[in-house]
């Protein structure tokens, strides 16, 4: 299986979920809950739910959509969601009823024999087990995908898996393997509108537009970022990795208080945008390195070469996701280092405070 497809779709779903939560948080009646464990108790009804926590458990009724960013998400046998479920988590388990669609990205995803999805099921994870009922279509991607004998799918099944097993599920439509599911991410509106190659070209054009804007507005800074990444790739990559590991943890900690949820959502949106900028600067760095090796000094050519090559490399089986991640970490870390150096320079050149002026120079 092309592992970058699953990784790419999982990340895309997470990005889509967080952007939706940050920009279009849903109806005004939707509740936001955060904490170590978020529970909708049996007999309890909430009008929509946006949940952040170590685990999210629905034993009662969510009258609307459930959007969850957590370690584990479970809709128990007594649980019911009248809208859609969008979940990015370590594990997702549907044992109850979801009236709408389910879009999930997780390490493991399971629809148990008692679970029912009234719409479509779109799942990307390490392992995917469908043993319950799906009234629409099922799109499944994982290292392993299993259709249990108890599974019922009224529509068709499309899958991308290294290991696939059908134990006699009742499928109304066809069961088709599609190795190109990674071309367009699960949960993207482009799924129904654009083939994979069009989405890829669109992505390249958008990255080129952002890169051009950065070069026009911050020409000197952009050149310093590329130079720093070329000169110290290990340091830049290490700082980028540290940012990716620390920032989400810090934002989740902020979200643990209700008052901190709006701030953390804004922070998540800004962090995701910064990752995008890091990817574009990483591509620009690759282009600078290649054009310098060819003894060509043209920043626009460097941008175009780098962005296009990174996009093509990102489509490669197995290693594509790794290449994209490395380039993003390189650009992100170099950006952070250049910003840090600029702040230090500002501090060094700042005029002395009144106290420092009165004290005068320190005697040797």
pLDDT for res 188: 38
Q: Which residue has the tokens 């654009």?
A: 194
Q: State residue 67's pLDDT score.
A: 84
Query: Would you kindly state where each structural domain of the chain is located, as residue ranges?
Result: 3-191, 194-347
> 249-258: per-residue pLDDT in tens?
776 676 665 5
User: Residue 113 has what pLDDT?
Assistant: 97
* pLDDT at site 91: 85
Q: What is the predicted pLDDT for the residue at 107?
A: 78
Q: Which residues of the chain have pLDDT under 70?
A: 1-36, 52-54, 70, 180-200, 251-252, 254-265, 317-319, 346-364
pLDDT at 292: 87
Please give the model's pTM, rounded to 2 decimal places.
0.50
pLDDT value of residue 46: 93
pLDDT, residue 95, reads: 97
> Phi/psi of residue 338, each to 5°?
-65, -40
Residue 7: its pLDDT value, please? 41
């Amino acid at each position: 299986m092309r592992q970058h497809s699953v990784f790419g779709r999982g990340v895309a779903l997470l990005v889509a979920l967080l952007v939706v939560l940050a920009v279009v948080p849903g109806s005004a009646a939707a509740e936001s809950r955060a904490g170590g464990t978020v529970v909708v108790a049996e007999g309890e009804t909430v009008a929509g739910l946006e949940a952040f926590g170590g685990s999210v458990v629905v034993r009662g009724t969510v009258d609307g959509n459930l959007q969850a960013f957590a370690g584990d998400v479970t809709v128990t046998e007594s649980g019911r969601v009248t809208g859609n479920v969008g979940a990015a988590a370590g594990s997702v388990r549907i044992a109850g009823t979801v009236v709408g669609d389910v879009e999930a990205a997780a390490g493991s995803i399971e629809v148990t024999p008692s679970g029912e999805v009234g719409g479509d099921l779109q799942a990307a994870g390490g392992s995917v087990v469908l043993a319950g009922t799906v009234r629409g279509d099922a799109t499944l991607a994982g290292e392993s995908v299993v259709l249990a004998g108890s599974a019922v799918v009224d529509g068709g099944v499309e899958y991308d898996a290294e290991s696939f097993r059908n134990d006699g599920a009742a499928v109304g439509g066809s069961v088709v393997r599609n190795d190109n599911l990674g071309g367009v991410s699960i949960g993207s509106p482009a799924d129904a509108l654009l083939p994979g190659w069009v989405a890829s070209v669109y992505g390249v054009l958008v990255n080129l537009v952002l890169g051009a804007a950065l070069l026009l507005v911050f020409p000197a800074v952009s050149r310093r970022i590329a130079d720093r990444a070329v000169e110290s790739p290990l340091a830049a990559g290490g700082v980028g990795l540290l940012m990716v590991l620390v920032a989400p943890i810090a934002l989740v900690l902020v979200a643990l208080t209700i008052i901190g949820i709006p701030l953390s959502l804004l922070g998540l949106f800004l962090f995701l945008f910064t990752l995008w900028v890091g990817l574009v600067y990483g591509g620009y760095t690759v282009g600078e390195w290649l054009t310098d090796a060819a003894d060509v000094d043209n920043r626009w050519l460097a941008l175009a070469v780098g962005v296009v090559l990174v996009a093509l490399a990102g489509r490669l089986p197995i290693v594509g996701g790794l290449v994209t991640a490395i380039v993003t970490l390189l650009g992100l870390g170099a950006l952070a280092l250049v910003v840090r150096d600029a702040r230090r320079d500002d501090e060094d050149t700042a005029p002395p405070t009144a106290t420092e002026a009165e004290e005068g120079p320190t005697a040797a």
